């Protein structure tokens, strides 16, 4: 099936690792032109190598920048747009988990703020700074990577929960503000655990093999991003799509 991305320009923050990298790979496989942003120059080099080896015919570019610092992100966006010429779809996958496991009275305020800075301010700036480009895009859309942690919680995840809860409402607010005047759709994908460096670090494991809970691959989530961004999903706007194997739907009823 043609998802409608051939020749389209895609910008992915957090495209150097995990879900963002898998999403970049899937878009390139659909013959899109892809620009990725991440903070580490080393991870950028290795991500570009992986993507260009897998898709030798595709236009794939990268620029180092911090999504939570307006000047740095603007520079990175400008560098990508200088190469691609525009942006039709933007994906914000950049995010951090912060320190996990601490109860509320032991979470330092600066650590709480840092998670909001990257996950919430970063998503806001990613939309704000690319908006002039998406307004000129073809069937434009934003897809934010939220989390089931915006809807359900476990002890010791306060800062992350707060940040992903904010993204659910940012998605709704942007979808209302941008669709009617500009034809831009805004949705988010909200996975439970995905096997990425962030999740392995956060859970303190080397691998998820043999665990007794469901774990998605980055490709599982990338596919959902492409599904929402595709013009074939033109009726879908303002949705936070939970990808959690239905855990959020469970009753406490002992059946
Ligand atoms: N893995 C999970 O279980 C899971 C579940 C639900 C939601 N998510 C969400 O999925 C998204 C991607 O996470 P992942 O699991 O793929 O993690 P990951 O493998 O650690 O990738 C995170 C990406 O974000 C980039 N990044 C982080 N802070 C940044 C900043 N300030 N500016 C620019 N780039 C930045 C990283 O680049 P650098 O390494 O260069 O900083 C990296 O490319 C996050 O928003 C996360 O909250 C993950």
pTM: 0.98
At residue 212, the pLDDT reads: 95
Edge to edge, what strands does the sheet with 33-38 contain? Answer: 60-64, 33-38, 9-13, 89-92, 141-145, 185-191, 240-243
**198 CA from centroid of ligand 1 (Å):** 7
Query: At 29, which helix (H) or strand (E)?
Result: helix 18-29
Tokens of 205: 């494991």
Domains of the chain: 9-243 (3.40.50.720)
At residue 126, the pLDDT reads: 98
At residue 240, the pLDDT reads: 98
Question: What percent of the chain has a predicted confidence (pLDDT) above 70?
Answer: 100
At residue 58, the pLDDT reads: 98
Name the residue at shortest CA distance from atom 11 of ligand 1.
93
Name the residue at shortest CA distance from atom 38 of ligand 1.
39
CA–CA separation, 107 and 213 (whole Å) = 27
Mean pLDDT, the chain cut into blocks of 10 residues (255 residues total):
97 98 98 98 98 98 98 98 98 97 97 98 98 98 98 97 98 98 98 98 95 97 98 98 96 89
Which residues form the pocket of ligand 1, taking CB atoms under 6 Å from any ligand atom? Answer: 13-14, 16-20, 37-40, 43, 66-68, 93-96, 118, 122, 145, 147, 191, 193-194, 196-199
Q: Read off the DSSP letter of residue 249.
A: G
Question: Cβ-count burial of 204 within 10 angstroms (0-12 exposed, 13-18 middle, 19+ buried)?
Answer: exposed
Q: For residue 218, give the ligand 1 atom closest to its CA.
A: 16
**Residue partners of 25: CB distance under 8 A and separation at least 6:** 50, 51, 54, 55, 219, 222
Query: At 33, which helix (H) or strand (E)?
Result: strand 33-38
């Amino acid at each position: 099936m043609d998802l409608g991305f051939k020749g389209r320009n895609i910008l992915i923050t957090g495209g150097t690792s995990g879900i963002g990298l898998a999403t970049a790979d899937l878009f390139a496989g659909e013959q899109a032109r892809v620009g990725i942003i991440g903070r580490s120059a080393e991870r950028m080099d290795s991500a570009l190598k992986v993507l260009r080896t897998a898709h030798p015919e595709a236009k794939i570019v990268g620029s180092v920048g911090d999504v939570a610092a307006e000047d740095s992100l603007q520079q990175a966006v400008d560098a990508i747009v200088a190469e691609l010429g525009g942006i039709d779809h933007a994906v914000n996958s950049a995010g951090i988990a912060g320190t996990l496991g601490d109860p509320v009275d032991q979470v330092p305020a600066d650590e709480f703020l840092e998670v909001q800075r990257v996950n919430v301010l970063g998503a806001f700036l990613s939309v704000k700074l690319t908006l002039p480009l998406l307004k000129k895009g073809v069937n434009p859309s934003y897809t934010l990577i939220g989390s089931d942690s915006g809807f359900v919680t476990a002890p010791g995840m306060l800062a992350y929960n707060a940040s992903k809860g904010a993204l659910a409402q940012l998605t709704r607010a942007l979808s209302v503000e941008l669709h009617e005047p500009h034809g831009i759709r805004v949705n988010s994908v909200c996975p439970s655990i995905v096997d990425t460096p962030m999740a392995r670090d956060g859970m303190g494991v080397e691998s998820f093999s043999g665990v007794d809970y469901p774990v998605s691959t980055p490709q599982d989530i990338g596919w959902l991003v492409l599904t929402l961004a595709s013009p074939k999903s033109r009726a879908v706007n303002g949705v936070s799509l939970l990808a959690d194997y239905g855990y959020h739907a469970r009753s406490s009823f002992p059946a």
